[in-house]
Amino acid sequence: MIPESFIQELLNRVDIVDVVDKSVPLKKAGANYSACCPFHNEKSPSFTVSPTKQFYHCFGCGAHGTAIGFLMEYQGVSFVEAVHDLAKHAGMVVPQTSKDVNKPAPQVVVGLQEALLQAADFYKAELKKSPRAIEYLKARGLSGHVAAKFQIGYAPAGWQNLQSVFQNYDNEALAVAGLVVVNEQGRRYDRFRDRIMFPIHDSKGQVVGFGGRVINPEDAPKYYNSPETPLFQKGHELYGLFMARRAIRDAGRALVVEGYMDVVALAQYGIEYAVAALGTATTPYHVTKLMRQTDEVVFCFDGDNAGRAAAWRAVMNALPALTDGLKLSFLFLPKEHDPDSYVREFGKEQFEREMKAAMPLSQYILQHLSETNPLQSQEDRIRFLNEAEPIMQLITAPRSAMYLRKKVAELAQLSAEEMHSLLKLPNLNKPAVSARPKLTRTTVSLQRRFCLILLMHPSLAAEDDLLWLEVAGVEDALLKHVIETCLTHPHSKPVVILRALENKVEAGVLKELERELSHLDDTLNLSQEFLGARQQLQGFYGQRKAESMLKRLSDKPLSALTTEEIAILKAVGTKPHQNKA
C-alpha cells in the first residue's frame, strides 16, 4: 500500500510540464503550455498544461488530471505503475512492504486477467456445446460472426462447472476476480449459471469482467454483472467500447444504449458504434471517455417510465463533464420497443433517421422540467426556477450554460439579469485570476481532497462510490460519511453538509475541512479534477485489497497453500510461512 502522503509529496516534487513534454512536445502559450491533444484527433491545439496548477486539460475532449493521471491515460499503465515511474525519475523510493516494489501490482493483475481469460475461453467453448443457447441467439437474430466478434459464450447450469477449468477451485483469486461466490458457510459456487455470457473489455482489449443474461425470461435478474474488482469498476467501463472505437470515429457519433443485447443486435444490423453502461447510470467518467472518441453522443432509452427515469439520471451525471464542443441528444423509442427489437423490425436506415431527429440536451432538460408544470401561475414559475437552479449550477461549459439560462429565464418570464440576481449561479464571465501564493499547511490526503470537492459539488456523489470504498482508518471513515451525506443532500451548500456531519465526524476534523474549503479556487473546473481523484482512489483501494489478499496467503502455513497460491507468493517475492517442527 502506497501512503497518501507519499503521493502528495511526489506530485509536489515533479513538474507536470516536464512529464508531459517527454511524450508530447509542448509550446509556451502565455502562462501555460499547449500542444495538440494526444487523446483525440485535432488540427489546432486545445491541450494545455498549467505549471502553476500542475494540471493538464484538453478543451476539446475534456481529458484532465495530474502527472499521475497523464501517465495512466497516455501509457495505459495502472495507478501503481505510474507512481513508480514518476518516483524513479524524481529520485524517490516508494514505501512498499514487498522486497521488489516493481512487481506486486502487475503480478496480481496478470493473475486475475489470466483467470478471467480462461473463464472466457471456457464459456465460448460451452456455447458450441449447447443447442439451447445457440438457438436462443439465433432467435435473437445473431449470426455466428457477430457472436464470435463479441466473444459471446454460455455459462452452463450447475454449481461448480469452473472446477473443470481451474485445478484449484479454492484459489482466492477466483473470488477476487468475481468468478466464484463464497457463501456464509465457506462453500464455493460459480457466480454465473445458465446465462449467455458477454465478456467486458477494458481500453486495452483485456477481459476485466462479465455480464450474464438469462435465457429463461422467468429467471431473475435479467442482467447480472461481475462485482467490483481491482480490474473492473462498472462506473468506468462501457460495454463494447473497445470494439466500437473505429466505428465511432468513422460515424462521428457514439450511441449509448442500456443492455448488452442491444449493442450486439445493433452491430448485427451494421450500427457498430453502440456501447452500453454496465448496470449503472451513465457517469461523468463514461461521458469523458466517449468525448475522447467523438463530439456527438446519442443516448437511446425505452419510452416507458423506467427508460425516462434512466435518461434523467444520465443527464444529471453527464452535466459536470459537458463541454461546449460536445453534442448530447436523447432518443426515446416507442414503449413496446427497445433498440434490439426496433432495429430488427424497422432496420438500420430507419433507426439512424430516428437518431438524427433525437432531442438535444437543452430541449430535453426544459421538456422534463415543464412536462408536469403548466407554468401558468407565479407559483408554477417559482417551482420551475427552483428545479432548474441545481441543474444550471452543474453546467460549467460557458456557451451551453448561457443558452440554457436564457431559455429558463424566458419560460419563467424573467430577464436574464433578474434571474441571475435571484439565483446563485456561477459567473460565466469571471476573469481569470492569478495563481494564489502557496500556503504552508498540512498536506491534504487524496481522500480529504475528494471530500472537499464533494462538499463544493455534492451532486457528484454516487452510490457506486460506496462499493469500492473500504474503511480501515480515520480518513476512510471520513470519506464514507461525506459520500453518504452528499447523497442525501445533493443540492445543499457546504455549510449545510458540514452541519449534517457534526454527529458523525470529530469537531476538529470539521474545522480543518472548513479551513481547507477556503483555499479552494472556485475558478477551477473541480468536477473534472473529481474524475481523476475518483480514479486514483479506486486504484488505491483496489491495490490495498489485493495486498490484503497476498498477506492472507503469506500468513498461511506452507502445508495449507495450494500450488497456485505458492506460485503467486513467489511471483511477488514473498516467502510462504514455514511450518514449525
345 phi, psi to nearest 5 deg = -85, -40
In the numeric block, which cell numbers belong to residue 531? 474524475
User: Residue 64 in 3-state DSSP?
Assistant: strand
Among 27, 468, 456, smallest CA distance to 228 is for 468
CA 178 to chain centre: 18
Domain termination residue (choose one: 90, 121, 156): 90
Domain termination residue (choose one: 312, 340, 371): 371
Confidence (pLDDT) at 58: 84
Angle made by CA atoms 472, 474, 480, in degrees to the nearest 5: 75
In the numeric block, which cell numbers belong to residue 153? 459464450
Q: The cell 495512466 sits on which residue?
A: 72
* Whether residue 408 sits in one domain with residue 478: no
Question: pLDDT digits over 357-389, tens only?
Answer: 999 999 999 999 999 999 999 999 999 999 999
Among 208, 211, 207, smallest CA distance to 191 is for 211
Residue 215 inside a domain? The answer is: no
Confidence (pLDDT) at 439: 34
Go through 78-104 and write b for each residue having 16 or more CB atoms within 10 A of its CB, e for each that does not. bbbbbbbbbbeebebebebeeeebeeb
* Whether residue 312 sits in one domain with residue 341: yes
- pLDDT band (50, 70, 90) for residue 221: confident
* Whether residue 364 sits in one domain with residue 379: no
Better-scored residue on pLDDT, 203 or 116 = 116
Give mean pLDDT, residues 86-98.
70
Residue 187 inside a domain? The answer is: no
* Whether residue 379 sits in one domain with residue 366: no
- pLDDT band (50, 70, 90) for residue 440: very low
Domain that holds residue 464: 446-521
Residue 97 inside a domain? The answer is: no
Confidence (pLDDT) at 367: 94
Confidence (pLDDT) at 581: 40
Residue 353 inside a domain? The answer is: yes
Residue 427 inside a domain? The answer is: no
In the numeric block, which cell numbers belong to residue 121? 475461453
Query: What pTM, to 2 d.p., does this model score?
Result: 0.60
Question: pLDDT digits over 341-354, tens only?
Answer: 999 999 999 999 99
The mean-pLDDT minimum among 86-90, 165-169, 270-274 falls in 86-90
* Whether residue 473 sits in one domain with residue 493: yes
* Whether residue 379 sits in one domain with residue 281: no
Residue 245 maps to which CATH number?
A: 3.40.1360.10
* Whether residue 384 sits in one domain with residue 255: no
* Whether residue 270 sits in one domain with residue 385: no
* Whether residue 407 sits in one domain with residue 287: no
* Whether residue 394 sits in one domain with residue 291: no
Confidence (pLDDT) at 220: 81
Confidence (pLDDT) at 437: 37
* Whether residue 72 sits in one domain with residue 20: yes
Domain termination residue (choose one: 60, 90, 120): 90
Give mean pLDDT, residues 39-57.
83
> Domains in the chain: how many in total?
5
Query: Is pLDDT at 83 greater than 70 in this prediction?
Result: yes
CB count, 10 Å around CB of 419? Answer: 21
Angle made by CA atoms 497, 502, 503, in degrees to the nearest 5: 125
**One-letter amino acid for residue 253 of the chain:** R
Per-range mean pLDDT, top range of 38-52, 279-293, 381-395? 381-395
* Whether residue 477 sits in one domain with residue 460: yes
Better-scored residue on pLDDT, 90 or 112 = 112
Question: pLDDT digits over 526-569, tens only?
Answer: 666 677 778 788 878 877 777 777 776 666 776 666 776 666 65
